[in-house]
């Protein structure tokens, strides 16, 4: 089955939500910026919080994202409530961060980046390490198809993030060094201009596409007499 839309917005998001609510698998043939993916949005928010001096409200918005591994958990909820009681705040260490959280040691280590001026390839290597802030998937005995697709999408988005950084590095002046703030402006713009399509291997789905994409398709149509 194929659903054709004249334009993507405002119909596609509502249609995607409706199909998901009724458990109907669907594939949307629309390219997004990788910056719109939760995993890349998380990394970008970490960098912006770093550049902003670790404002606690900005950090809270980062760490309560489900992709962080802390958001949408009982520990994350307690951390959320405790930090809100202390707002406004700024700087590290962050009060009430769970003792076993990866962010307790990793975030202070990033602060040194603000004092450095590096070449483009060095900043690219540094920024690629931020994918390590996202917890690795834990594969159990019962994993839903939706969870598999989410993991597949996250892996593809992170690879797209790396590719966008590599492309930006090739356009930089080789011998020039920059502070993180200046390099990130270029990298952020490169991410916005990059196209990302989440991989979707399943074929028995409802295909949702616009009329331009539909010109390349031949779908089996059936008509029913009234």
What is the reported pLDDT for 77?
92
CA nearest neighbour of 197 among 168, 162, 158, 156 = 156
Query: pTM score > 0.95 for this model?
Result: no
User: CB under 8 Å, gap of 24 or more: what pairs does 218-225 form?
Assistant: 219/1, 219/2
Beta carbons of 57 and 87 less than 8 angstroms apart: yes
What is the reported pLDDT for 175?
63
Residuewise pLDDT in 10s, the chain (226 residues): 888 888 888 888 888 888 888 888 888 888 788 888 999 999 999 999 999 999 999 999 999 999 999 998 999 999 999 999 988 999 998 878 888 888 988 999 999 999 999 999 999 999 999 999 999 888 777 777 777 778 888 999 999 999 999 887 776 666 688 999 999 998 999 898 888 877 766 778 888 888 877 777 775 655 444 4
What is the reported pLDDT for 224?
44
Beta carbons of 186 and 168 less than 8 angstroms apart: yes
Distance CA 75, CA 98 (A): 7
What is the reported pLDDT for 201?
67
Report helix, strand or coil for 101: coil
Domain extent listing, the chain: 1-30+202-226, 31-133+146-196
Distance CA 169, CA 103 (A): 28
């Amino acid at each position: 089955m194929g659903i054709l839309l004249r334009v993507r917005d405002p119909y596609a998001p509502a249609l995607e939500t409706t199909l998901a609510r009724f458990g109907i698998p669907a594939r949307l043939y629309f390219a997004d910026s990788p910056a719109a993916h939760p995993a890349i949005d998380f990394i970008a928010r970490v960098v912006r919080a770093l550049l902003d001096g670790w404002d606690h409200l900005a950090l809270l918005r980062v760490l309560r994202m489900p992709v962080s591994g802390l958001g949408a958990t009982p520990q994350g909820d307690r951390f959320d409530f405790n930090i809100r009681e202390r707002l406004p705040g700024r700087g590290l260490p962050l009060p009430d961060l769970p003792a076993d959280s990866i962010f307790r040691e990793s975030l202070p280590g990033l602060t040194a980046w603000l004092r450095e001026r590096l070449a483009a390839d060095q900043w690219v290597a540094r920024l690629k390490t931020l994918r390590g802030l996202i917890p690795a998937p834990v594969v159990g005995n019962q994993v839903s198809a939706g969870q598999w697709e989410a993991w597949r999408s996250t892996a593809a988005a992170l690879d797209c993030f790396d590719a966008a950084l590599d492309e930006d590095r090739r356009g930089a002046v080789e011998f020039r060094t920059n502070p993180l703030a200046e390099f990130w402006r270029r990298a952020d713009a490169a991410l916005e201009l990059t196209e990302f399509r989440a991989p979707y291997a399943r074929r028995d789905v409802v295909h949702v596409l616009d009329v331009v994409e539909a010109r390349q398709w031949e779908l089996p149509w059936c008509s029913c007499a009234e």
